[in-house]
């Protein structure tokens, strides 16, 4: 993977580039959304850690705290080159906002297209004391309005994180070897899935805590399994709602990544994914909720065309409530997208 800096106002932007290999993709040749999310997080971690160590003082490593909603605008395929560029757009006293863009390049024709845009928030943690959050060097803004807009985004994400924590006690019981023969197709229980992963050194930062990109990749894998079991077709990640990293996951933990379908529209599926950690090495304590997010998937034909999604069959009152909540998120996102398109059609 290549990395290079580019001159600009404030901290230098960086770009990571890598060709997509067969092990990055599904059986249809579409690159996993988790692979892209992991590259996005790597770029964000590099530029935010570099910036937070740009002044004299205690050394630190940036830890991922939140990823805003991320849309997958176009599927990436095996053999294409992913160009991931990142730049810092706002700093508060203890956090860094990083904007990331992903381009896909066909190296045979030179054609490029935008596949992803993402916003990530990082906090600098001391190398000497992982529980100590250090101060962030401020950046210089080209215009005062940019700083004001960044502060508004910062306050909004702080509020949303608090709301997410309030509903974070929900439980998904792990489903490792379910008896699917007893479940009706298209029900929540039929497609619900879990993965168990032992956190090793290669998953971790210098602090010995899991990289955010590793966690997101595992979450996308589980969400993809749920979507594939529901549709039994080729499926791809369409978007990821805000991912909140509630607590750090330490090396040696066993993590359980669980996913369940919450809502279906005519052509999309919403899957809720939780990550729970069991820290049984060195300092045993009760399982805790580390990360949560909603993934949206679409079903594709062999020709890559969108297919209708089988409608989710909800049975319990909780499933009905989650379905209505998912429908609300779907309609809200749809309305925002239409509002953004309106000025373009009026030009």
Is 106 part of the annotated catalytic residue set?
no
- Which of 26, 71, 278, 325 is catalytic? The answer is 26
276 is catalytic: no
- The candidate with the shortest Cα–Cα distance to 36, out of 84, 4, 91, 86, is 84
Which three-class secondary structure string do you get for the chain? CEEEEECCCCCCEEEEEEECCHHHECCCCEECHHHHHHHHHHHHHHHHHHHHCCCCCCCEEEEEEEECCEEECCCCECCCEEEEEEEEEEECCCCEEEEEEEEEECCCCCCEEEEEEEEEEEEEEECCCCCCECCCCCCCCCCHHHHHHHHHHHHHHHHHHHHHHHCCCCCCCCCCCCCHHHCCCCEHHHHCEEEEEECCHHHECCCCEECHHHHHHHHHHHHHHHHHHHHCCEEEEEEECCEEECCCCECCCEEEEEEEEEEECCCCEEEEEEEEEECCCCCCCCCEEEEEEEEEEEEECCCCCECCCCCCECCCHHHHHHHHHHHHHHHHHHHHHHHHHHHHHHC
- Round to whole Å and give the CA distance between 195 and 101: 29
Burial class from Cβ neighbours inside 10 Å (0-12, 13-18, 19+) for residue 126 reads: middle
Among residues 24, 116, 203, 220, which one is catalytic? 220
Q: Which residue has the tokens 């080729």?
A: 234
Q: How far apart are CA 7 and CA 249, in angstroms?
A: 35
The residues assigned a catalytic role are 26, 220
């Amino acid at each position: 993977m290549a990395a290079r800096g580019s001159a600009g106002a404030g901290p230098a932007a960086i770009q990571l580039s890598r060709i997509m290999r067969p092990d990055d993709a599904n059986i249809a040749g579409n690159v996993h959304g988790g692979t892209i999310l992991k590259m996005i997080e790597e770029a964000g971690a590099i530029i935010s850690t570099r910036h937070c160590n740009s002044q004299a003082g205690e050394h630190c490593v940036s830890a991922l705290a939140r990823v805003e909603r991320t849309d997958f605008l176009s599927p990436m395929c095996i053999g294409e080159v992913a160009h991931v560029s990142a730049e810092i757009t706002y700093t508060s006293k203890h956090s860094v906002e990083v904007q990331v863009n992903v381009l896909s390049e066909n190296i045979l024709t030179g054609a490029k297209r935008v596949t992803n845009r993402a916003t990530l928030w990082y906090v600098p943690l001391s190398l000497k004391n992982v529980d100590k959050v250090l101060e962030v060097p401020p950046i210089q803004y080209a215009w005062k309005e940019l700083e004001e807009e960044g502060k508004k985004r910062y306050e909004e994400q702080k509020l949303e994180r608090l709301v997410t924590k309030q509903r974070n006690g929900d439980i998904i019981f792990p489903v490792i070897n379910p008896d699917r023969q007893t479940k009706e197709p298209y029900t929540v229980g039929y497609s619900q899935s879990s993965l168990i992963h032992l956190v090793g050194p290669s998953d971790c930062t210098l602090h010995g805590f899991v990289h955010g990109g590793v966690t997101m990749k595992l979450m996308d894998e589980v969400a993809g399994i749920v979507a594939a079991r529901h549709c039994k077709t080729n499926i791809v990640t369409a978007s990821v709602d805000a991912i909140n990293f509630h607590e750090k996951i330490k090396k040696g933990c066993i993590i359980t990544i669980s996913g369940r379908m919450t809502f279906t529209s005519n052509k999309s599926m919403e899957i809720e994914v939780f990550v729970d950690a069991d820290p049984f090495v060195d300092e045993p304590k009760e399982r805790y909720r580390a990360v949560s997010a909603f993934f949206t998937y679409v079903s594709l034909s062999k020709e890559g065309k969108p297919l209708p999604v089988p409608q989710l069959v909800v049975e319990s009152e909780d499933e009905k409530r989650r379905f209505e909540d998912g429908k609300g998120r779907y309609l809200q996102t749809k309305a925002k997208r239409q509002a953004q398109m309106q000025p373009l059609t009026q030009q």
